[in-house]
Structure 1
């Protein structure tokens, strides 16, 4: 009977059962003797035991005893245990989920993960990298404007940014097409320029954020008048641009919707073309031709939706960023059969959830850009004008939606708006970039704002340095495990990656993963695909990824390297992702500090 019984005691800490040994002067090193007396002695008698329940809130003495208990279980080689509890409403122990029932309590997760390592395998724990880790599709972005700059010299843009202390991997290239607004067809010379610009970007190893617009300025008194073209002309132009973009899709990070209004920023739309409607209750009065300072003609309508859908169709797999949270909500409402001319209902401000993320739907492919970030309480009309529930709803919508899509833009004031009650302006500004999950920021505008960032102390350095480090994704590989280190030729190897996204933003474009076995001695390389469509964890979150790869057929000792590559440019290491861990990175590969032996 003894061989068929498994002893599973329940063990809890001082907040659940305040026993005298928790207040002993030797705490917590007195605890192993207590546990040995209660159940640990069974190991010496080769009797099976595990832990039926343990847990607690992870703070104070409860954290101390749990840390010591988990170390005790590892020392004893215990593999059978149950943690109380998953759900957060578990009274005096709490759970491994926060009160929202969705967010993991990561310190508890990490504690329990240390009990899950495969006993016959090999693991390595990495320290996080320090400072900026330069990677594709993130960080500060250079900018360039056509026709002021008739062609893009991407390498010169990188050199110019480097001279200012920025290592950039993004250039925002805006094309002002006012010279062609009255023409049904774009000239071939412009299409050639566009293709050459995309080739220039690839030659420099950068990606482009593209925007097409017809109005390079507002229609102010005494200034030139610029008009939105009719919808049909815009659609015809997009049909010409599309093949050029698709031929160079790999160097496009994403597009900004543009096309409508001054600078393509989706306000002050021309009444004649009526590509957008006035906001409800807004009377734009008698407008001069093409509109002037009619800022609140910014509500998407059926024409807006048709233009956005056409733009998305021309760039399969790429996201398109819109200027306002209200605009995305209204586009989705219209696409679902909602009424035109009305402000989006509260239910339309429904952010992406994991099951919807990264799909080929309108909701998943529309991102965001804010070109007046921290300019005022409503970012100069980016959000609902008046403070209150609606404005906060729109801010939170953008914050949560950007977990799985793109957020970029620029500032437009010399200094940031900071609420009077905020005692630490630098900390407040950092939190706002973090809240809205910024992937990139224009390094040229506003110059005053950039100078302010450089002058603010934040942690050990400046706020500008913190943004260089944290804009976009920052994938920290905390731990790597394999299930075995001795393999037969062709045998399956299980690889487990513990990743944390420590950056502000998401990996909005998918990547491919490859495990590369590199043999010691002759350097023979054997690459095994781990799959495609990899986006990593959302910003501020952790995840564990498990993969299976076949061992090489030839005998030898092999180092393991991880390649996170761009599926559109798989052979160019400049577009591969470097992990934010202290590891060796070479030729687009991350050394996992593990070795396997094939015999």
Structure 2
């Protein structure tokens, strides 16, 4: 009799164990449930994800008073997972005069089409595309920037970054015919750019030494400065001969020291550019490119130049990896949520986010916790203090905040995380919201990330 009782006891215990184990698993992530708290472990996606202000980009230049961007072409970029382009305006017809209305309208039209297509741009202006041709005087440059200021202000939402440009051939701060590469004139161009651009927009200089000279410093900025809008916190770097020689065609003077400096600064300001024909070094392997882009925190890279380097990566199966890793790639790792909350009470969000990309987010975003009724779909949006820029590569970020539930009726609510653009004109556009790199979490219609939890408000 005793043995029969023991056998029955083991059967009951075993049945209960397997039942609990089965209910603790979910197609979207493992859930371990106790009486009041749900623990969620999210599944990482292996897909290439299109997110704003990062990734491989196309580069399109246009002559003075030329043809605007093609809207159909811009819209087709989604097929390539491209969300950003370099737009280079050659102002060769205006080296001695103000910009014409036709030129200004060309730029305005481009911005309108970028916005309609859900794309952002990196801007550059130059006065020639040949090392033997002339550039413009400082006075003309400043006049042109004054003319461009209202256009920058009206279209800041679709400007990712601005390469300093204006000086020398291709706007690369070399081959000047107007003595513009003196420290005094370089400072003048940088200061004018920072003056006419909205404070939220960062510019990029061609070499790290240029920034150090302009601001008269050598130690990289830190968190006390990096997330603010002072002039020094708004200047990053572009390298147009990445991986092309020992010093990247003169990009660096003291290579090791300056790369370490860029690596530290790039926690706060962007690095991007293009490759060019290698000289004195082999074409960069996948491993070399990965190491360099990780160190220097590369955010974007030109798809159109230099082709043979890009083809090496394609042929060695790392191009897709770089599509994923350029810029930021944010991943939900886990969450711990209460299952119930009181009406007009508070709710604690406890979520761990990782950044498996090369770089952080550089432009400020607005983040919201959204409560969506499971009955009728009504949503309630609560702003978080969370600064997405602080989710830096290879460091788990613990998002812990207390959210007021005031104004939300009792009921059951799906929890969603929305990371939207700071500019209201595009804040509701899913193309400009950040998608987290997880499976079964992205709602492409609303541009929100599902946290895979339902909260009951009593």
Name the TM-score class by shorter chain: 0.7 to 0.9
More strand by share: 2
In structure 2, the CA distance between the partners of 1:359 and 1:260, relative to structure 1 (3 Å rule), is: same
Q: CA deviation at 1:415?
A: 9.1
Counterpart in the other structure of 2:435:
578
Q: CA deviation at 1:134?
A: 1.2
Q: CA deviation at 1:157?
A: 3.8
Counterpart in the other structure of 2:82:
168
Counterpart in the other structure of 1:413:
277
Q: CA deviation at 1:481?
A: 2.2
Correspondence 1:391 to 2:246: no
In structure 2, the CA distance between the partners of 1:209 and 1:427, relative to structure 1 (3 Å rule), is: same
Q: TM-score, normalising length from structure 2?
A: 0.87
Which range moved further: 580-589 or 133-142? 580-589
More helix by share: 2
Correspondence 1:443 to 2:443: no
Q: Is the 8 A contact 2:38 2:336 kept in 1?
A: yes
Distance (Å, rounded) in 2 between the aligned partners of 1:450 and 1:358: 33
Q: CA deviation at 1:363?
A: 1.8
Counterpart in the other structure of 2:345:
491
Distance (Å, rounded) in 1 between the aligned partners of 2:78 and 2:275: 18
Q: CA deviation at 1:255?
A: 0.3
Counterpart in the other structure of 2:191:
309
Q: CA deviation at 1:547?
A: 1.8
Which range moved further: 561-570 or 425-434? 425-434
Distance (Å, rounded) in 2 between the aligned partners of 1:143 and 1:154: 15
Q: 1:465 aligns with which of 313, 320, 338?
A: 320
Counterpart in the other structure of 1:246:
153
Counterpart in the other structure of 1:79:
none
Q: CA deviation at 1:434?
A: 1.2
Q: 2:181 aligns with which of 276, 292, 304?
A: 276
Correspondence 1:403 to 2:267: yes
CA deviation map 1:88-138 (0-9, x unaligned): xxxxxxxxxxxxxxxxxxxxxxxxxxxxx9994323111221132210011
Distance (Å, rounded) in 1 between the aligned partners of 2:47 and 2:211: 34
Counterpart in the other structure of 2:355:
501
Q: 2:330 aligns with which of 475, 484, 490?
A: 475
CA deviation map 1:167-212 (0-9, x unaligned): 10001100010110111x1111111111110010000001010001
Distance (Å, rounded) in 1 between the aligned partners of 2:203 and 2:428: 26
Counterpart in the other structure of 1:338:
none
Q: Is the 8 A contact 1:502 1:540 kept in 2?
A: yes
Note the 1:100-499 alignment, pairs <5 A: 120-147=36-63, 150-159=67-76, 162=79, 166-183=80-97, 185-219=98-132, 226-270=133-177, 273-277=178-182, 301-316=183-198, 317-333=200-216, 348-384=217-253, 390-413=254-277, 417-418=281-282, 425-456=285-316, 462-482=317-337, 484-499=338-353
The 3-state SS of whatever aligns with 1:122 is: strand
Q: CA deviation at 1:506?
A: 1.6
Counterpart in the other structure of 2:456:
597
Q: Larger Cα Rg: Structure 1 or Structure 2?
A: 1
Q: Is the 8 A contact 1:158 1:168 kept in 2?
A: no
Q: Is the 8 A contact 1:126 1:583 kept in 2?
A: no
Q: CA deviation at 1:534?
A: 3.3
Q: Is the 8 A contact 2:331 2:438 kept in 1?
A: yes
Distance (Å, rounded) in 2 between the aligned partners of 1:258 and 1:170: 18
Distance (Å, rounded) in 2 between the aligned partners of 1:229 and 1:161: 37
The 3-state SS of whatever aligns with 1:410 is: strand
Distance (Å, rounded) in 2 between the aligned partners of 1:464 and 1:519: 41
In structure 2, the CA distance between the partners of 1:410 and 1:535, relative to structure 1 (3 Å rule), is: same
In structure 2, the CA distance between the partners of 1:469 and 1:396, relative to structure 1 (3 Å rule), is: same
Q: Is the 8 A contact 2:122 2:159 kept in 1?
A: yes
> Tell me, which stretches of 5 or more residues in structure 2 are unaligned?
1-32
The 3-state SS of whatever aligns with 2:229 is: coil
Q: TM-score, normalising length from structure 1?
A: 0.67
The 3-state SS of whatever aligns with 1:454 is: helix
Q: Is the 8 A contact 2:285 2:312 kept in 1?
A: no
Higher relative contact order (CA 8 A, sep 6+): 2
In structure 2, the CA distance between the partners of 1:416 and 1:499, relative to structure 1 (3 Å rule), is: farther
CA deviation map 1:68-96 (0-9, x unaligned): xxxxxxxxxxxxxxxxxxxxxxxxxxxxx
Distance (Å, rounded) in 2 between the aligned partners of 1:139 and 1:315: 23
Q: CA deviation at 1:548?
A: 2.0
Distance (Å, rounded) in 2 between the aligned partners of 1:532 and 1:190: 41
Distance (Å, rounded) in 2 between the aligned partners of 1:207 and 1:274: 33
> Tell me, which stretches of 5 or more residues in structure 1 are unaligned?
1-116, 220-225, 278-300, 334-347, 385-389, 457-461
Q: 1:517 aligns with which of 371, 383, 393?
A: 371
Q: CA deviation at 1:426?
A: 2.2
Counterpart in the other structure of 2:381:
527
In structure 2, the CA distance between the partners of 1:416 and 1:520, relative to structure 1 (3 Å rule), is: farther
CA deviation map 1:408-434 (0-9, x unaligned): 100111699449xxxx93212211111
The 3-state SS of whatever aligns with 2:147 is: helix
The 3-state SS of whatever aligns with 2:352 is: strand
In structure 2, the CA distance between the partners of 1:248 and 1:314, relative to structure 1 (3 Å rule), is: same
- Give 4+ residue runs of structure 1 displaced > 4 Å after superposition: 117-120
Distance (Å, rounded) in 1 between the aligned partners of 2:136 and 2:35: 67
Q: CA deviation at 1:588?
A: 0.6
CA deviation map 1:402-461 (0-9, x unaligned): 122111100111699449xxxx932122111111111010111111111111111xxxxx
CA deviation map 1:330-383 (0-9, x unaligned): 1111xxxxxxxxxxxxxx331121221121122211011100000001111111
